Structures are given as C-alpha cells and as structure tokens.
Chain A
Amino acid sequence: MVSNLINPDKRFLEILDRLRDKSIDDYYNPYRLFKWPEILPDDMWWMSPELTTTYGTSVAERLTEQQLHALSKFESINFYSLNVHGIRELLIEVTRRIHTKGFETPSEFFHHFIGEENEHMWFFAEFCLRYGKKIYRQPSGAGMEMPKPEVETLLVFVRILIFEELVDHFNSRMATDDRLHDTVRAINRIHHQDESRHIAFGRELVTVLFADVRRTSTEQELAGLADYLRRYLTYSFESLFNPHVYRDAGLADPLAVREELLVSPTRAEFERSVFRKTSKFLEKIGIIP
C-alpha cells in the first residue's frame, strides 16, 4: 500500500533516488571514524547547559557548578541511551516491513536507513558504555493499544519522525558547541548529518500516509489521532527527565526532582523549542489542527 501511494508521485520517487545517492556518497566507516579517549574529564559540560533539563530552574540554583557538570554527564548518557533504544525499536518496525508486500518502492531506501541506524546505535551505545558504564533503560508500555492496521503504519512512521526530530534538535546544537569535548561534538555532528536525510524521507512519507488515512477516517478517528500525537510529543519530551539520572547525579528524591522540573516555568518554552519545527510540520499537513 505504501508503494501504491508513492509510485504515482514523481516528486517522491526523485527524492528517494536523491537520498539514496546521498547515502552512498556520504558513506563512512563509523568503527574507524571516532576518537575514543580512555576517559573524558568529569569536570566539563557533557551537554550544552541550555539543553539540560535543569537549565534555568530552581533545581539548578541549588547545585554547584561541579554538580551541574556531573548532572550533565548523566543527562548526556540518558540522551544517548534514548537514542539506543529508540533506534532499536524503529529498526524492529522498519525491518518488519522491508521487502514485504506494499513496501517494494521504499525498500532500497530502507537498506540505507537500517544500515545507518545500526551504526548510530553502535556509536551511541559505545559512548554510554565507555563513559557512563551503562545504558539507561526506560520502562516500555509499547503494544498496550492496537491501532487499526491502516493507521498503524502511519503511527510507526510519525513516531520515528518525532523521535528523529527531537534528537536532531540536540544534535544540531551540540555539533557546533565549542564548550563540548571533540568526541561529543563529533558523534552529534555525524548523527545530524545522517538524520537530515532520514527526516527528509520521514516528512515525505508521513505526508502521503496521512493524506491516505485522512481520506478513509471519520472526524472522530482523526480527532483521536491528533490527541494521541499531542500526548506522544509530550511523552517524548518528558523522556528526557529520567529520575535515575537525578539519582545517579546524587540528588535526593529523584522522582520529586523530575516532577519539580516538569512543572517549572521554563518547561513550556523548552518543550516548544525542542518541537518548534516538528509541530509546525504536523500542523501544516493537518494531522494536528
């Protein structure tokens, strides 16, 4: 069915060819590309301070600079851990679809996508294990709801897109932040480079999939979809606030810290900036009113 939607769309087909060519031209060996120093100094920003969850909050006011540096380390490990598990889950969904009926046309692109994501998962996991000695895990409620099959593929690719855009907000900023260590900048820069192709593809695909779902759904179903996606954006944003991070950074009552941050006056602006482009896109195609 995805092939049927793409095949008459000359523009989409050209984009697929262009993205494939770009993947081939930009291809690199991730296992040789990065320098992995034995240790990274503890007393530095591991993440741009403006991108940490405590920035500008009452929680940050209570901490010394050294504690903030330590917190930024655990927050960065959480951020890369979210990448590891987000990628693992999207690989399952894309691998489930490649070379099956209905997905003939995007399958060649999927090969690049799967290959690149596998490599991203490797360097993010490598960073977590080397410098954090662990990968954070989040409890998964996946599979609790069973959407209609026509909507399921749309949901899979919207969720992938939201995840990639969220991550890219951080990558694109950290790639050029000279307060950060070279190794940190490098993984963010490389990921940002690859993800610009994935996001370009994701936006095109979500646009055609939603146009189709819109034709075949009731008003009520569309309202339910919009509501779910709004909540999904919030859920994705809140996954940055991991109580285990606050615990590992030595803060007392980590869940209360999370709750304090989630109701902090700076939260709304942080969330808006993370999803500024994403929300604009989702509103433009009409999936969110």
Chain B
Amino acid sequence: MAVTGSIDEVRDWILRRHPERQTIDAEENLIQTRLVDSLTFVELVYVVESTTGVEIDFDNIDIQNFQTLATIEKAFFITA
C-alpha cells in the first residue's frame, strides 16, 4: 500500500516534545534515551499511523520496530 508522509514528520513530532534537542540521529535509540517512554508511546504510534495513512495492528505491535527513526522508517514508511 502507498505510504503518504515521511519519517521527518515523526522526527519533528518528537523534537516538538523535546525542546532541549535540536536533532535526532536516525540510529539513536528513542526508548533508551527516553525520548519516548511508556506514556508517550501511544502517541508515537498514532503519529506514525496518521503520517503513513496506514492502520497499524495494535494487537501485534513489535516494539523492536520503534527503537530508532531508522527502524520506524523501515517498518512503516518504506514499501518495496
């Protein structure tokens, strides 16, 4: 299925919530650095869903796909 948005929108969303940061590296671990935690994870998923326009199956979320911007991009934005 065609994906509409870009991973930059996800990066911008995280940056808006962390004014202390100017950039986020594609390989930076979002969970270990606590840019995303158990209480903001829900919103991250909503943002990915809304940006890509593709519904995510919430019952089968693989947290590994949400570790870095690169893994998010690979799992949800790049469609071969």
Contact = CB atoms under 8 A, between A and B. Distances in A.
B41 A139 contact: yes
B46 A255 contact: yes
B38 A143 contact: yes
Interface residues of B, number: 18
Interface of A is mostly: loop
A219 B49 CA distance: 40
Interface of B is mostly: helix
A69 to B, nearest CB: 25
Contacts of B41: 139-141, 144
Contact of B42 (A138, A231, A232, A253): A138
Contacts of B40: 141
A137 B55 CA distance: 12
Contacts, number: 47
Contacts of B38: 141-145
Interface in B41-71: 41-42, 45-47, 49-50, 56, 58-59, 61, 63
Contacts of A139: 41-42, 45-46, 56, 58, 61
Given A141-B39, A144-B63, A255-B46, 18 more contacts: A138-B42, A139-B45, A139-B61, A140-B42, A140-B61, A141-B36, A142-B38, A143-B38, A144-B31, A144-B38, A144-B41, A145-B38, A232-B39, A235-B42, A243-B46, A243-B49, A255-B47, A255-B50
Interface of A: 137-145, 231-232, 234-235, 239, 243, 253-255, 258
